[in-house]
Chain A
Amino acid sequence: MTIELVIFWVLAIVAVGTSLAMIAGKRPVHCAVIFLGTLGSLAGLFLLLIAQFVAILQVIIYAGAILVLFLFVIMLLHAHSGEGPGEKIRFQRPLALALSLALLVGMSLVFWQSGFGEAPPAPPEGMGTAEAVGNALFERFILPFEVASVLLLAGILGAVVLSKKERG
C-alpha cells in the first residue's frame, strides 16, 4: 500500500460514510453539516487527481456558498424533520433501495468492464493549475462559458421573481 492508496481509501470511506449519514439524517441542519464532510473529502480526492484549482473551487463555491445558502433556508424554515408520519406511497423505502442498488450494480459493471483498470499515464506539466483551467476555459470552451453566464443570469432573475412578494 502506498501513501496515495491509503489516502484514497480514507477519503473514499469518509465520502461514502458521510453521504450515507447525510441521506439518513433526521434534522436537515445535521445533514447539511455532514454533507460538508462529503464535499471536503471530494475536494481531497480532486487533489489526488491533480486538480488543485477545481478542488479549491469546490470548497469555495460548494461549501462556501451553496451549502451556506442551504443552511440559511433551513434556519429560515425552522424545519425539523419535515417529514410527516406515515408513507403515502407504499413500499417507498424498499423500492428506493432496490432501484438505487440496481443502478449501482449497472454502473459498477460498466466501469469495471470499460478497462480503466491500469494506472493512468503521468500527468503533463502544470495540469490542474488555475492557468491550465483558464486556458482551456477561455479558448476551447468560450461559447459554453458565455452560455453559462446567461444561465446564471436566468438563475438570478428566477430567484428575484420567486422571492418577490405578490402585489395587491
Chain B
Amino acid sequence: MTIPISYYLVLSGVLFAIGTLGVLARRNALIVFMSIELMLNAVNLAFVSFARLWADMAGQVMVFFVLVVAAAEVVVGLAIIVNIFRTKETVDLDDIDLLRG
C-alpha cells in the first residue's frame, strides 16, 4: 500500500505552521531566520508530494528553485544580521527599533 498524499500534505502544513510560530514568537533574529527556512522546507515537501501525485517532475524542479532562493536569501540575510550586530551589539529583533518615532 502506498501512503495517501494527503498525509504528506498535512505534515507539510504542520511544519509550515510550526515555522510560522517560530517567526511570530521568537525574537532572536537567527532563530527567526531558521524558522523561515523551516517554512521553505515545508513548502518543498508539499511540492515533492504533488510531483508524486501527478507523476510530474515539475514539482521536484520547483524544489531546486526554492533551494536557490533560500541560498540567496540566507547569504543576504545573514550578512544583514552580522551588520546589525556590529552596530547594535544585539540580535534581538525587538531592540532593532531605530525607525521607531
Contact = CB atoms under 8 A, between A and B. Distances in A.
B contact patch SS: helix
Contact of A128 (B22, B45, B60, B95): B60
A62 B67 contact: yes
A20 B18 contact: yes
Interface in B76-101: 76, 78-83, 85, 90-92, 94-95
Interface string A90-133: 00110111011101100110011010111111011001100011
Given A16-B18, A100-B20, A23 B26 contact: yes
A51 B64 CA distance: 12
Contacts of A8: 3, 7
Contact of B10 (A2, A96, A108): A108
B11 A39 contact: no
Interface residues of B, number: 72
Interface residues on A, range: 35 or more
A119 B5 CA distance: 7
B90 A82 contact: yes
Given A15-B15, A120-B2, A132-B57, A25 B48 contact: no
Contacts of B35: 22-23
Interface of A: 2, 4-5, 8, 12, 15-16, 19-20, 22-23, 25, 28, 31-32, 35, 38-39, 42, 45-46, 48-51, 53-54, 57-58, 61-62, 65-66, 69-70, 73-74, 76-77, 79, 81-84, 87-89, 92-93, 95-97, 99-101, 103-104, 107-108, 111-112, 114, 116-121, 123-124, 127-128, 132-133, 135-137, 140-141, 144, 148, 151-152, 154-156, 158-159, 162-163
